[in-house]
Amino acid sequence: MFRGRYTVLVVVSAMLFMMLFGICSHLGVDLVPTIALSLAPGGLSVLWVVTCVNDKPESYTWDLLLFGRFQLRQWLFSQGVIGRPPEFNLRGLAPPHPTEYE
């Protein structure tokens, strides 16, 4: 499941598990919520790798984030929060030729 550069997520998840378990234990949280909270980063990393990394293009996660941003801005425009509708995948205008400034 974890291949290539994403194998570091296993190590990071294990470190976060130990840190969160220690913090929750020090604060006196019961055992079951402590284990549930401590397993959350590992579960999220597994979920992300399975849904967004394996057998997907490299830019898949970034494309999803940009599309989510577009949908959020579209919803904000429909609610009247922002005054301009969002623009999706538009090319920038070519700058004018330097002779036009003379």
Is 80 exceeded by the pLDDT of residue 2?
no
Task: Tell me: do 45 and 67 sit in the same domain.
Answer: no
pLDDT band at 101 (very low <50, low <70, confident <90, very high): confident
**What residues make up the domain containing 27?**
1-56
> Same domain, yes or no, for 42 and 64?
no
Q: Are residues 35 and 3 in the same domain?
A: yes
**Whether 75 contacts 67, CB under 8 Å:** no
Residues 75 and 32 in one domain: no
Share of residues in the chain with pLDDT > 70 (%): 94
Number of domains in the chain: 2
Whether 63 and 52 share a structural domain: no
| Domain assignment of residue 93, yes or no | no
Nearest in space to 6 (alpha carbons), one of 53, 75, 72, 58: 53
Q: Are 16 and 41 in contact (CB under 8 A)?
A: yes
Statement to judge: residues 71 and 52 lie in one domain:
no
Question: What does the longest C-alpha to C-alpha distance in the chain come to?
Answer: 75
Integer Cα distance of 49 and 1 in angstroms: 8
pLDDT tens by residue, 43-71: 999 999 998 888 889 889 999 998 999 99
